[in-house]
Structures are given as C-alpha cells and as structure tokens.
Structure 1
Amino acid sequence: MTTTPGGAAPAPQGAPHAAPHRVTLRWSAIGLVLVGGAAGVAAREGLSLAVPDVDDIPVVIPVVNLLAAFALGYLYEGVARALPGTPLAGRLKLLLGTGFCGGLSTYSSLATDTAVLLDHSRGGIAVTYALGTVVLGALATLAGIALGSRLHPRGPDEQELRRIEGHADPHGATRRAS
C-alpha cells in the first residue's frame, strides 16, 4: 500500500475525497481563555506581591508553576472522565486549562530568574531552581492525573458493557439467538 506525501494512506477507490479541516475561532472560546488567563495572571501577581523572595530567590515562580502543572493534570483527567466529549468539558478546558493555568504558570519568568541567578554567580542554585521546577512540575502533573482518575473513575460505556456481556457483537449489531 502506498501512502501520500504526508504519510496518510490514500482514500480507497471510489471513496469521496475528504474536505480539508478548517479551524474556526469562536469569540466565546477566545473570551473564555481571556477571562481565565486574566484570573491566572492576577493570582500569580497577587502571590508575587504577597510572598517575599528568599535569599534573593523568587520562590513564587516555581510554586505557581507547580500548582498550575498539578491543576492542569487534575483538570484534564477529571474532565475527560466526568464529562467526556461534552460542550461543558471543552469550555472548562479553555477557561481553566488554557486560560487560568496558562496565566498562572510562567516558564518565561523561570528562565529569566535562572539567568539572573547565573549572572550573580549562583550556578548551583540556578540549575537546581530550573531543573527542580521542571522535574517537580512533571511529577505534579502526574499527581494531578492520578488524583483526577481516582476521584472521577471512568464508568464503563453502555455499548462496551453490552459487548462484554455478549449482547452485542464488536460491530454494534445485536446477536441473534440460535
């Protein structure tokens, strides 16, 4: 079988050609991201003003990045399990995931703070600051996913239950009794 230049298999003979997928932006989606992002940035700035640096190391930046990583892991797993494929799930992902968590986290500030620490001859602290935030951020995301899956167990799909119980074949047609 040959493939097209993009690596996809060609359409079968006689099959209609698929129209190119057109992405459209909706103002409501943009609004959700903007509102969530503004709230996330405001939360980060409020924490930055409230929590002082420790030994000239900005502790708020890694903390907000870890919180956002955890929240994003929890949100996406919990929403995927509790509200699969619903319009509310999409809106929550835009508002809280892309918007709030995107505004709360700031890896550009992490990079800038790391550069400042390096510039002040604090290389060991800079490496620990940057790598520690990234590694702990990955672990925080995994912890969020684990909590989301634990608190929102995925119920079996009705069609899947029928197939398991032998009431339907894998193609969705009902079995006939012999």
Structure 2
Amino acid sequence: MERTVPRLRAVAQALVPPIDGGRLRFRGGLVALPIFLVINLLYPLSLQQADWVETSAHLSYVAALAMLFGTIVGNGRMDLRRAGALGAALGTFVVLILTIYADSGGTLRERAAIVAVHVNNWLTQVVAGEAATDPTAFVLFLGASVWAASYMGSLALAREHRVWDAILLCGFCLVVNVSLALTSLIFDLVVFTLCTLVLLTR
C-alpha cells in the first residue's frame, strides 16, 4: 500500500504535469486581461444578436471558462498534444452541462434526458434524409465553436505570446457570423478590431 500511493502520484504527475505558479502570467499584464476577455466574448455575443437560436445566452459563459482554462493550461508545462486533448475533454463537458441547464427546466437528469432526446431526433431525421428542425444539435455546435476559439486562442497567447495566433480563430468565427447574420453586426467587428489593436501594443 505504501508503494502504491507514490506510484499513483507519479502517474498522475506524468499525465497532468503540475502548473508552475511562478510562470502563471498573462501577456500584457492585468490591464490586457479584460481586453482579451472582451475579444473572446464578442463572438458569443454576436451569436446572440444574430438570433440564430433561442438558447444562446450560455455561450458567453462557455467563452469565459474556455479562456480561463486555456490560460491556465497554456502557462503550464503540458505538451501541446495533451493540452489539446484536455481542452477537448473539458470543452465537451462544459458545453454539454451548460447547454443542458440552458435548454430546459427540471432536474439535471430530466434536462439531460430532454437534450438527449432532441439530439436523437435530429440524428434520426438526418439519417432518414429528412429536414432536421430541432436546434439542439446546432446549439451544441455553436458551443463547441465558441469553446474552440476561446480555448485555443488563450492557450496560444499564454504559451507563445503572439496575439495573432490568439485572435485568428475567434476573428474568423466572428467574421463568418457577421457576414451570414440577417442583422447588422458591424459594430462588433469595430470593437473587435480596436481591442485587437490595443492588445497588440501591450
């Protein structure tokens, strides 16, 4: 038993290396942190303004959590492959949980069952060649895109300290949403551009 505990601890440290607290930092200091947060929140906020689906208010929380975890992992010593796998696992969990809570009322089990039924109905319609009308799968896709853009951008900024790597995917998603939206979202692009320029000077 005494030998088992150190071995398990060694395995855990090998799979998830500890975060070096002395290296935990943000490019540009604390002043740039809210600016980068605004950059990450612009994409989910633009999705809400585009009004693609009714259930989209939780996407801002997805972006904020993705930025938090991406910054923490980016300042750690975990290699890029493990960081990507960890981000995918965390993103799946966060997007599912927040979508379940945002989609309907009731207990967690009841909400999860409702979301599962909606996704199953969507898959059944797609396989049958019918027009899928349930928006739940699309909400999950939007949540995944928000998580990927914010997590990868935060990870790149924390590890490589290059702003362009951090804003590339988020900016691409924002431009696509603005170009496809039926409402004018030019103001979001203007704010995104200004925040990016300020972050580049930090």
Q: When the two structures are superposed, what TM-score results if normalisation uses the length of structure 2? A: 0.27
Q: Which has the larger radius of gyration?
A: 1
Name which structure has the greater RCO, CA cutoff 8 Å, separation 6+: 2
Q: When the two structures are superposed, what TM-score results if normalisation uses the length of structure 1? A: 0.30
